Amino acid sequence: MAIQQNVKQQNLLTFEAMLARATHFRSRDVAKGVREFFARHGIEIDKSAIVWAQTEDYMLGFEFGLKGFLVTSERRFYRFELELSSSLEKVVTVHEFEDVTAQQNGSEHNRGTGKGEGALAIAVLEAMKVL
């Protein structure tokens, strides 16, 4: 029988997972093509946090891709899905790039769930500033 976690514990686990992902991408940097793609859209990747991403088993038929969710220093949220060249130096296809800020739950206090995912992502962004 699995141990049931309270809301604070669940929020902490989600925060820690987001922080680990953001730290991973910050420490290893993102591919040149991804960095340039975001820059063309006015997003400074070094001041943003990729809080969710999928690179392995990306998409059937696309060997080099990145799918994810990021929050910018301006507290804008973007969902993206990019296919990269084999050199990782350019984005070949944009399957999705959408500002989803209006859809985020930025509340710190939600009954039964605690902090919204948007609030947790902003907390990660703030934590990244001091790392």
Q: What is the 3-state secondary structure (H, E, C) of 31-67?
A: CHHHHHHHHHCCCCHHHCEEEEEECCCCECCECCEEE
Q: What is the pLDDT of residue 28?
A: 87
User: How many Å is the Cα radius of gyration of the chain?
Assistant: 16
- Output the pTM of the full model: 0.86
- In the chain, what percentage of residues exceed pLDDT 70? 89
Q: What is the pLDDT of residue 101?
A: 96
Which alpha helices (H) appear in 41-130, and where do they start and end? 117-130
Q: What is the pLDDT of residue 68?
A: 93
Q: What is the pLDDT of residue 131?
A: 52
Q: What is the pLDDT of residue 85?
A: 87
Q: What is the pLDDT of residue 29?
A: 84
Extract the residue ranges of the chain whose pLDDT is less than 70: 1-4, 56-63, 130-131
pLDDT per position as a tens digit, 7-25? 888 889 999 999 999 999 8
Question: Does residue 100 contact residue 78 with C-beta atoms inside 8 Å?
Answer: yes
Angle, vertex CA 14, rays to CA 12 and CA 18, nearest 5: 115
